[in-house]
Structure 1
Amino acid sequence: MQWKSLWTKSKGSIYQSPAWAEARRISGDTPRFLAIKESGQLKAGLLYFERTKNLPLIGKVKFLFSEGNPLSLTEEGYNEILKKFKKVSKNFFYGINYPLVLFPLNKKLEEERYKKVTNHTLILNLSTSEEELWKGLEKKSSRWGVKTAEKNKLGFVPASNEKEISDFYNIYKETVKQGRFSPEKIGFIKEITKSGIGNLFLIKSNNIILGGGLILLDKNNKYAILNLTASSAEGQKKQAMPYLYWNLILYAKSQNLKYFDFGGYDTRATEGDKLYNINKFKGRFGAEIKPQYIYSTGLKYSFLRGLLDKSAFFKDMYFRKK
């Protein structure tokens, strides 16, 4: 109960919520809670996770990661909790923090001598009108795709039962298999939708699921994050994905959210890579490339990222291994 109170008072992100802890637990990660108390009451905290992974050439390692900004009622509380996480991480291969893209605690993390690595994502400002958002879509691809989907009479609806989630999950597993990544567990998707911190939306044709996407709703910070998407071959033909993305944008706007995060953008992807084509698709919706920082408690993660950036083989092995 104290954690939920701290989360509410500090306007924490969904990544620091009890619901996210449960979803990640179901997915296979072990949730842990760090706390700083004053007079018996929580004044700062950090939800983080323990994960075991097989690394190429290294073997099985245990590491820690936290998502979103720490929770704190005071400025000094951020420093205290970051110090504590750094200390705990010494017993693991590495510890990393993914601060919020829009509200990163760069100064605090750098004060505590965390090492910065830069990823990127795409952020769309939802404060403009629907008409302006539409104009932001690339005319010959995204706008054409949405109009084609409408001509094909596709439907955009929330998943309404476990069978629909299961049917979507089968499509998602096949999509992930083709991309050679490890899929989230179906229980993760169910928990996100059940808890209310996100929704699974489906694209249907004649009541047949062609694809869909799981969107996270960070209402405290006023933005939506696209977590995962998938489409069948038939869905690709009928332009299910442009239609899905456009309607997810409109849904986020209808929820009075200010920003839409497309869930990552790999600036290092080169032509011929699968991620390069994903970048091109995401980049056709009028969003802006923003830095997405990762802060590590030591040098091991920075070294690992250097290997990933330099070696396509090592990178492929890293994301394929659990």
Structure 2
Amino acid sequence: MRISPEEEIKIIKEILTAMNVPEESSDIVADVTVDADLKGFSSHGIGRFPQYVEGLRHGTIRADGDITIERETESTALINGNHIFGHVVAYRAMELAIEKARATGVGLVGVHDSNHFGVAGYYSDMAVMNDMIGVVIANTEPAVAPIGGGKPILGTNPLAIGIPSNRHYVSVDMATSASARGKLLEAARKGESIPENVALDAEGNPTTDPEMALKGSILPFGGHKGYALSFMIEILAGPLVGAAFGTAVRGTANPEEMCTKGDLMMAIDPSKMVNPDEFRAQVDELIDEVKSTGDVLIPGDIEAMNIKRRRAEGIELDEKLLERILGIAEELDLNLEIKEL
């Protein structure tokens, strides 16, 4: 079935309210989740929502609470998320990064003791909406074996960058692995296979079975280049921010474990370096030059097209996911009515 973005928001907020999550937090979680589905990152949209419900039930996600700023300078901060919703912690961290960038030109905020925060590009978008460049990185529990190794050590370690423009949505949001773990989880739920050259099983053999891949390892994208980038992110989102790293990272996929991963948010104010109007115009000039070479897409075009299409056609709920959501509502004695488009 297909539902409207507004219906998805309603579903998420009704369930979270029934689980005593404050309205402000529910609003953020719902908005980030719908953003993922609209952009086409369904593995991080409502399909991931049952994981958050399980986290609340196991106490690995706290329904309410505040972040703690442990260290702070004029342009940097280190945040303890105190295990509340990762979406809320990341939102507050980027807000703080933007505030610092407005004052100093650059805001850099590290996060530990948080939770899975949905799609990274939501937070880089926050900077863009404030006429700033946004950069977001995070580590995750082990899923990727290093080149030449046979054991998962590194996470899928996402990277998102958003750039202000006058005429375009300019954004990259990607895992440094050949596939995000969420896509494997989604394929397993739907009973689908995954592409070749994405993952290995526990014995190190190539597999297109997502269940086997989840027991094995995901390949880095681009061979040694993806591995190198993931390795660097592991440090920047681990030791630099007081978070776990390598095999000590837990809780980004398993809601029964306390989350130990880290995040790093950066906001850059172009106006502190160049004329911001000229900067945006030159970004558009580069885009025009790139697109003049043929039928070319820039980073962000696919997401922009997906948003337009899904706002018109709705967001798909597969049968198993629908059953899971209705089951959650029933367990909460919640009379959840889902309106189909």
Is TM > 0.5 for Structure 1 vs Structure 2?
Answer: no
TM-score (norm 2): 0.25
TM-score (norm 1): 0.26
Query: Would you tell me which structure has more strand in proportion to its own residues?
Result: 1
